[in-house]
Structure 1
Amino acid sequence: MGSSLSLNNSLVSGFSPAVATWYGSPNGAGSGGACGFADDVANPPYNGLISAGNQNIFKHGEGCGTCYQVKCTENPACSGFPIVVTITDECPGTCNNEAFHFDMSGKAFGYLAKLGQADKLRNAGRINVQYQRVPCKYNMGITFKIDTGSNANYIAFAIEFVSGDGDVGSVELLPSNSKSSLSMQKSWGCTWKVGIPVGVKGPYSVRLTTIESRNTITANNVIPGNWSPGQYYRSEANFS
């Protein structure tokens, strides 16, 4: 595992200008659709403090799970204090008219406001903000959500709650009854897939490497031999 100090230095580099909008219901949790996080965004540790990003943020799915501080100061309703949002979805189309565009959940957008002025800020619809990428911090292990289309010959899962970089650049599945690892391919968002050869069985460990800092970690025996589609399996491992 790489140094968390170098990670912090590489990610926190000062605020830059961007545009922010919001979608869904005024106090809604937003969506995890394009990253594969689905309705998890409404629950801890996301708690609805999430955002979709345009292509410079979403990065064809490579931006899934990354964390940003966002603050606003120009609108009278802005608090000026930064909040941390996680990228969980894509904002396509007109969001790419700006270099950096955060399309936030209604709840997250409201958190940018002074106390009691969330609705006033949401009524502005579109505001100028400042942002900077920051390390993600989760008080839990990396979690693997098995895709519902998985079966005995094929497994896919979404990867959530990666501390530090937050992103995932490569994934290997390590069967307990084989010395060879299975290199997984990105399916979409932060969902990774691989075929399971005949005779290969779990429990499975998962080794992942982040994009930003190239840090590597192994979640040992995190997926049991009797895994089931739709289930969540949480490891004890995470980046510091």
Structure 2
Amino acid sequence: MALFHVKQSIVFVLVLLFLVHSCYCFNPKLLNVSMVQAASNWSPAGATWYGSRTGAGSDGGACGYGTAVEQAPFSSMISAAGPSLYKSGEGCGACYQVRCTSNAACSGNPVTVVITDQCPGCTSESAHFDLSGTSFGAMAKPGQEEQLRNAGVLQIEYTKSQCKYPGRTVTFHVDAGSNPYYFATLVEYEDGDGEISSVELKQATDSDSWLPMQHSWGAVWQLNSGSLLRGPLSLKLTSDGSGETIVAAGVIPADWQPGKTYRSLVNF
């Protein structure tokens, strides 16, 4: 019997050692690492609001979107940005999630906003959002929107997010100053990164040559060709974040007119 008990003990120890070395057990340190990584996606920023209390801030502001900021899909959920996010206009169209927990009226829930304007005086923090009254109030607990708007400068958190405009394609609004030798267009409703790193133009008479356009201001890109531009014109856009490229083939018709808006069939 003694020998039997010894054998049992040896077997038990061997099984225990096997489990210790092979078990994929819960490790709180691994959980802490993943939580830190998730938290690191959020960065601190300052937040204020401007315009009417339930409005869209200004009418389009420095990005050039005009009254479109009040309408779907923007729906007044927009923000002016300090220099680090506005990026001299190249940050126009970028989408961010913002949330606040620093005030009793904060819900802590993230809301998505689009950069549509510049806040040149917002330099006190590394990042600053001057939100519309609508988007600022959206960070509040239900029924406490006014309390939050009266709080002054808030400390918030933000993270870059993907833009999503269901049912929308990239749209080009031809600048009113365009002519047969100079073409400028506002680019709107880009899914994905929302920021454009380059825009190129191709004429109908030149099937292989893409002409680089220059960033003009806000969300406007321009080409001063010096020669007659022959439509229809195609436009190639490259996303700043992913590097993905899309082509809006023949999106600007041969009889295009300044001030008109032309919708493509593509998006990121």
> So what's the TM-score if we normalise by structure 1?
0.91
Residues 153/199 of structure 1: CA separation in 2 closer, same or farther (3 Å cut): closer
Map 1:1-240 → 2, pairs under 5 A: 14-31=41-58, 32-93=60-121, 95-139=122-166, 140-179=168-207, 180-196=209-225, 198-239=227-268
**Are the equivalent residues in 1 in contact too, given 2:181–2:229 (CA < 8 A)?**
no
Q: In the aligned structure 2, how far is the partner of 1:221 from the partner of 1:128?
A: 46
User: Which contiguous aligned blocks of 4+ residues in structure 1 show a shift greater than 3 angstroms?
Assistant: 196-200
**Are the equivalent residues in 2 in contact too, given 1:20–1:126 (CA < 8 A)?**
yes
1:137 is paired with a residue of what secondary structure? coil
- In structure 1, the partner of 2:34 is none
CA shift, 1:125, in A, is: 2.2
CA shift, 1:13, in A, is: 6.3
- Tell me which amino acid in the other structure corresponds to 2:263: R
- Tell me which amino acid in the other structure corresponds to 1:194: L
**Are the equivalent residues in 2 in contact too, given 1:178–1:200 (CA < 8 A)?**
no
1:86-126 CA-partner distances (Å, limit 9, x unpaired) = 01111112x11111100000111011111111111101121
How many residue pairs are counted as aligned between the two chains? 227
Structure with more relative contact order (C-alpha pairs < 8 Å, separation 6 or more): 1
Q: Which runs of 5+ in 1 are unaligned?
A: 1-11
Q: What is the root-mean-square deviation in Å for CA atoms of aligned residues?
A: 1.4
CA shift, 1:198, in A, is: 3.9
1:164-221 CA-partner distances (Å, limit 9, x unpaired) = 1100111111111213222111111110111245453111110011212211111111
* Percent pairwise identity: 51
Q: In the aligned structure 2, how far is the partner of 1:231 from the partner of 1:83?
A: 32
Q: Which runs of 5+ in 2 are unaligned?
A: 1-38
1:89 is paired with a residue of what secondary structure? strand
1:62-103 CA-partner distances (Å, limit 9, x unpaired) = 21110000011121111111100001111112x111111000
In our comparison, the structure showing a higher alpha carbon Rg is 2
